[in-house]
Amino acid sequence: MVDDQAGQQPTPVAPVVPVQPTATSSPPGKAARVGNYITSKVLGIDVNERYSRQPADLDRRAYEILEPADIYLEQEPSVAEWVKELAPTRDGAASYIQGLFPSASWIRRYRGQWLLGDAIAGLTIGLVVVPQAMAYAILAQLTPAYGLYTSFTGAVLYWVFGTSKDIVIGTTAVGSLLVGQVVSHVQEQAPGVYNNEDIAHALSILAGAVMLFFGLLRLGWIIEFIPYIPISAFVTAASITIMATQIPTCLGIPGINTRESPYKVLINTLKGLPNTRVDAAIGLGSLVLLFVIRDLCSLMERRRPAQKRMWAFISSLRLTFVMLLFTLVSFLVNRTRGLDNSPFRIVGRIEPGFQKAGVPRPDATLLKLILPELPAISIILIIEHIAIAKAMGRLYNYTVTPSQEIVALGAANMFSPFVGGYVCTGSFGASAVLSKAGVRTPLAGLFSAGLLVLALYVLTAVFQYIPNAALAGLIIHAVCNLVAPPKSLHKYWQLAPLELFIWVVGVVVAIFDSLETSIYVGIALSFALLLVRLARTKGQFLGRARTRRVTAGREKGDGAAFSPDSTVQPSQHSERDIFMPLDRRDASNPSIKVETPYPGVFIYRFSEGYNYTNQAMHMDILSTYIMENTRRTSEEDFEKESDRLWNDPGPKKRDEGMNNADLPLLRAVVLDFAAVNNMDVTCVQGLIDLRNTLDRYCSPDAVELHFANVHNRWTRRALAASGFGYPSSTDEEGLESWQPAYTIAAILDPGLSEKKKSRLVDPETNRTSSGSDADKSTLVDGQRERSGMAAVYGVDRPFFHADLHDAVDAAVRDARYRDGDSNCGGMSS
Name every residue whose Cβ is closer than 8 Å to that of residue 346 and which is 6 or more positions away in sequence: 330, 334, 339, 464, 465, 466, 467, 468
**What string of H, E and C letters represents the secondary structure of 728-790?**
CCCCHHHHHHCCCCECEEECCCCCCCHHHHHHHEECCCCEECCCCHHHHHHHHHCCCCCCCEE
In a domain, 821, yes or no: yes
Helix boundaries (H) for 304-373: 308-316, 318-334, 364-370
What is the per-residue pLDDT for 778? 37
Measured in whole angstroms, the distance separating CA 223 from the mean position of its chain's CA atoms is 9
Name every residue whose Cβ is closer than 8 Å to that of residue 154 and which is 6 or more positions away in sequence: 168, 169, 170, 412, 416, 424, 445
- b/e code 742-771 from CB counts within 10 Å (16+ = b): bbbeebeeeeeeeebebbbbbbeeebbbbe
Extended beta strands in 323-478, E state: 425-426
Assess whether 720 and 737 both reside in one domain: no
Assess whether 327 and 444 both reside in one domain: yes
Question: What residue ranges of the chain have pLDDT lower than 70?
Answer: 1-37, 39, 41, 47-53, 553-574, 636-644, 646-660, 728-739, 749-787, 822-829
Taking the C-alpha atoms of residue 207 and residue 423, their distance in angstroms, rounded to an integer, is 8
**Alpha-carbon distances, residue 417 vs 46, 356, 358, 763 (angstroms):** 62, 9, 8, 67
Assess whether 276 and 228 both reside in one domain: yes
In a domain, 116, yes or no: yes
Taking the C-alpha atoms of residue 673 and residue 399, their distance in angstroms, rounded to an integer, is 33
Of 129, 144, 115, nearest to 451 by C-alpha is 129
Residue 778 neighbours by CB distance under 10 Å: 13
Side-chain half-sphere CA neighbours of 646 within 13 A: 0
* Residue 631, φ and ψ in degrees, nearest 5: -120, 160
Contact at 8 Å (CB) between 173 and 131?
no
Contact at 8 Å (CB) between 134 and 144?
yes
In a domain, 100, yes or no: no
Give the type of residue at 825.
Answer: G
Taking the C-alpha atoms of residue 437 and residue 449, their distance in angstroms, rounded to an integer, is 16
Contact at 8 Å (CB) between 169 and 415?
no
| CATH number for position 597 | 3.30.750.24
Contact at 8 Å (CB) between 146 and 140?
yes
Give the type of residue at 632.
Answer: R
Extended beta strands in 606-734, E state: 668-672, 704-708
Name every residue whose Cβ is closer than 8 Å to that of residue 725 and which is 6 or more positions away in sequence: 707, 716, 719, 796, 797, 798, 799, 800
Extended beta strands in 612-728, E state: 668-672, 704-708
What is the per-residue pLDDT for 738? 65
Side-chain half-sphere CA neighbours of 519 within 13 A: 19
Q: For residue 768, what are the domain limits?
A: 1-87+729-793
**Alpha-carbon distances, residue 809 vs 8, 80, 594, 663, 735 (angstroms):** 15, 37, 16, 21, 20
Assess whether 167 and 51 both reside in one domain: no
DSSP assigned state of 595: B
Taking the C-alpha atoms of residue 120 and residue 128, their distance in angstroms, rounded to an integer, is 13
Omega before 486 cis (within 30°)? no
**Alpha-carbon distances, residue 7 vs 752, 801, 815, 823 (angstroms):** 30, 18, 9, 12
Cβ-defined contacts of 92-96 (< 8 Å, 24+)? 96/218
What is the per-residue pLDDT for 703? 87
What is the per-residue pLDDT for 347? 85
Name every residue whose Cβ is closer than 8 Å to that of residue 201 and which is 6 or more positions away in sequence: 360, 362, 417, 422
Assess whether 613 and 749 both reside in one domain: no
Taking the C-alpha atoms of residue 358 and residue 399, their distance in angstroms, rounded to an integer, is 36
Assess whether 486 and 622 both reside in one domain: no
Assess whether 333 and 291 both reside in one domain: yes
Contact at 8 Å (CB) between 204 and 422?
yes
Assess whether 493 and 614 both reside in one domain: no
Q: Are strands 601-605 and 540-548 parallel, antiparallel or unpaired?
A: antiparallel
Taking the C-alpha atoms of residue 5 and residue 749, their distance in angstroms, rounded to an integer, is 29
Q: Is the dihedral of CA 308, 309, 314, 319 positive or negative?
A: positive
Give the relative orientation of helices 374-396 and 402-415 as an angle to the nearest 10 degrees.
130
In a domain, 338, yes or no: yes
Contact at 8 Å (CB) between 391 and 405?
no
Taking the C-alpha atoms of residue 303 and residue 311, their distance in angstroms, rounded to an integer, is 11
Assess whether 327 and 396 both reside in one domain: yes
Assess whether 189 and 264 both reside in one domain: yes
In a domain, 562, yes or no: no
Residue 466 neighbours by CB distance under 10 Å: 24
What is the per-residue pLDDT for 759? 46
Name every residue whose Cβ is closer than 8 Å to that of residue 224 and which is 6 or more positions away in sequence: none
Average predicted confidence (pLDDT) for the chain: 82
DSSP assigned state of 40: I
Residue 284 neighbours by CB distance under 10 Å: 15
Length of the chain: 829
Taking the C-alpha atoms of residue 737 and residue 213, their distance in angstroms, rounded to an integer, is 62
In a domain, 119, yes or no: yes
What is the per-residue pLDDT for 424? 94
Taking the C-alpha atoms of residue 434 and residue 442, their distance in angstroms, rounded to an integer, is 10
Taking the C-alpha atoms of residue 620 and residue 196, their distance in angstroms, rounded to an integer, is 60
What is the per-residue pLDDT for 422? 95
Taking the C-alpha atoms of residue 500 and residue 677, their distance in angstroms, rounded to an integer, is 30
User: Three-state SS for 601?
Assistant: strand
Contact at 8 Å (CB) between 684 and 722?
yes
Give the relative orientation of helices 402-415 and 196-216 as an angle to the nearest 10 degrees.
150
In a domain, 531, yes or no: no
What is the per-residue pLDDT for 825? 65
User: Three-state SS for 544?
Assistant: strand
Assess whether 544 and 478 both reside in one domain: no
Contact at 8 Å (CB) between 601 and 808?
yes
Give the type of residue at 652.
Answer: K
Contact at 8 Å (CB) between 93 and 416?
no
**Alpha-carbon distances, residue 740 vs 108, 215, 719 (angstroms):** 62, 51, 19
Angle at 490 between CA 488 and CA 492, to 5 degrees: 70
Residue 95 neighbours by CB distance under 10 Å: 10
What is the per-residue pLDDT for 124? 85
Q: Are strands 704-708 and 767-768 parallel, antiparallel or unpaired?
A: unpaired
In a domain, 557, yes or no: no
Assess whether 825 and 709 both reside in one domain: yes
What separation, in Å, do the N-terminal and C-terminal C-alpha atoms of the chain show?
15
Rg of the chain in Å (alpha carbons): 36
- Give me the number of domains the chain comprises: 3
E strand or H helix at 825: none
